[in-house]
Amino acid sequence: MNDILKNKIRIKVAGPAQKIIIQLPEGAANGFPENCEFRNSGGRIMMNGMYFRSIVNIPCEFSVVRGLIVGESFHWEHREDHAFRGSLEIVSTPAGLIAINELPFEYYIASVVGSEMKSECPEEFLMTQAIVARSAAYSMSKKLHAGELFDLCSDDHCQDYRGVLRETNRILDAVNRTSGEFLYYGDDIADCRFSKICGGRTSKFSDAWKEESPHPYMPEKWDCLIGGPDISSLADYVGSDFPHALCSPSETIHKGFRYASRYFRWEMPIPKDFVSGNLASFGFKIGDVLSAQPLEITSSFRIVKMKFVGKKGECILSGELNLRKVMSLSTLPSSSFVLDDKKIEWICRGAGWGHGVGMCQIGALNLAVAGYSHEFILDHYFPGCRIGKAYEYQDLEEKIWQEKRPCYERANCYEIHRCKHGKTGDGPQNCKGDPSVFEKEF
């Protein structure tokens, strides 16, 4: 039995790094100083001048890890300080120090719901996201970090997890109401996936990842309730407004997610010298890139193989995420794009944000806003699955960190990098929730 079903999970929240700074809660030092600076020292751990062997356990709940990178290599990358429930472990690995947070699984799910989306979403959406996040965590924990000292990482590679500051009482309620509930396909917990905005058409599992076993419950489909448009080419897809898509801006009526609707259809310049450099870092030293040609486009309108011709040679790159990384300094929103060649740069026009497999979060949100139940939403994105309870109900305590999170509702996970406190590095906890910090840009 996986530990998740025993209500315990271990998340890598920092590193590998040469230095990790942790602030323990006031009065709970347990023999540690309140400010601990852990440094990697040749296989041992040095903390404030003292040496430790390869693992240091910090049993204090609500310890804060400083300056964590969020959204690494994506367009929203920034640093935040996160406080964690449960315990922290500092471990020395060959690549540097890592910090692992061990906590009750249901609290982890509450934080994921608040980190991935926002607590002001309708309750039916929060319940949907909780069930999907549980199922995804269970499935990914057996695959993505198999053999490592932890179950999942805290970044988008697995699921976004930002500690106790992302819990709210609304979210804890939704997690309590669905406690222990997973999506099952047959007798197994479904390997659920989700991404922010599908762009109008969801993708198959095999479009994004190697598929070792079939995932019939995440079919490629138009993300709408009334039948899809008559579109057969990538250019027509990217050029279409597709107003009936559940994630289209015309459907995006939840004000907290206006920022996300920009990614239903988007346009950005891509300097060719960035792409040349990115290809070189992938090992393709083909000199200055002259042209890029899609070789394989999925029926969900995503490029999964591309040929690049440079001054010194040519190469072929596969994989939607690889292509998104190569085509941008900070990872392109999706691999559904067309290029307009302008000599030193391309104008890139694209659709959607994320891999598009499984649940479209903004589509699901809009269904909840329109009054659909979490059962309906789950059936729309995961047809053939059923909700099942894997363990008994556990009542999560009300959060106790309310007073320390003044800017959470404004500084949501994708806007905080634009917050003046986020920018100067003094952290969101110093923001007093002043609306003027965001309103000009939001």
List residues binding Zn ion (CB under 5 A).
Answer: 144, 153, 157-158, 198, 223, 247, 360, 363
Nearer to Zn ion among residue 156 and residue 181 (C-beta):
156
| Minimal distance, residue 430 CB to Zn ion, in Å | 29
Give residues with Cβ within 8 angstroms of 182, minimum separation 6.
131, 134, 135, 138, 189, 190, 387, 388, 389, 390
**What is the rounded CA–CA span in Å between residue 431 and residue 108?**
25
- From the CB of 186, what's the least distance to Zn ion, in Å? 26
Dihedral sign from CA coordinates of 249, 252, 253, 255: negative
335 touches 323 (CB < 8 A): yes
CA distances from 40 to 21, 89, 92, 236, 372 (A): 12, 14, 7, 53, 51
* DSSP secondary structure letter of residue 158: S
Q: Cα separation of 308 and 285, whole Å?
A: 11
- Cα 70 versus chain centre, distance: 9
Radius of gyration of the chain (CA): 22
- Of 201 and 399, which CB lies nearer to Zn ion in the complex structure? 201
> What's the min distance (Å) between Cβ of 150 and Zn ion?
9
Residue 106 or 223 having the CB closest to Zn ion: 223
- State the nearest-atom distance from the C-beta of 311 to Zn ion, in Å: 37
The least distance separating Zn ion from the CB of residue 67, rounded to whole angstroms, comes to 19
- 135/276 with CB nearer Zn ion: 135
Tell me the backbone φ, ψ of residue 119, rounded to 5 degrees.
-70, -20
* Nearest residue (CB) to Zn ion, 276 versus 336: 336
Strands 55-58 and 35-41: unpaired
Length of the chain: 442
DSSP tag of 373: -
- Provide, rounded to whole angstroms, the least separation between the CB of residue 219 and Zn ion: 14
Task: Say if residues 45 and 39 touch (Cβ distance below 8 Å).
Answer: yes
Cβ proximity to Zn ion: between 157 and 386 the closer is: 157
The token duo for 99 is 């910090």
Least gap, CB of 201 to Zn ion (angstroms): 8
Q: How far is the CB of 434 from Zn ion (least distance, A)?
A: 33
At position 278, the amino acid (one-letter code) is N
Shortest spacing between CB 366 and Zn ion, in angstroms: 9
**Which residue, 88 or 153, has its beta carbon nearer to Zn ion?**
153
User: Of 158 and 289, which has the nearer Cβ to Zn ion?
Assistant: 158
- The helix/strand count (H/E) of the chain reads as 12, 22
81 vs 223 by CB, closer to Zn ion: 223
CB of 130 to Zn ion, least distance (A): 19
Question: 195-208: b or e for each residue (b if 16 or more CB lie within 10 Å)?
Answer: bbbbbbbbbbbebb
Phi first, then psi: what are they for 380, rounded to 5°?
Answer: -65, -45
Nearer to Zn ion, 189 or 198 (CB): 198
Pairing label, strands 87-93, 44-47 = unpaired
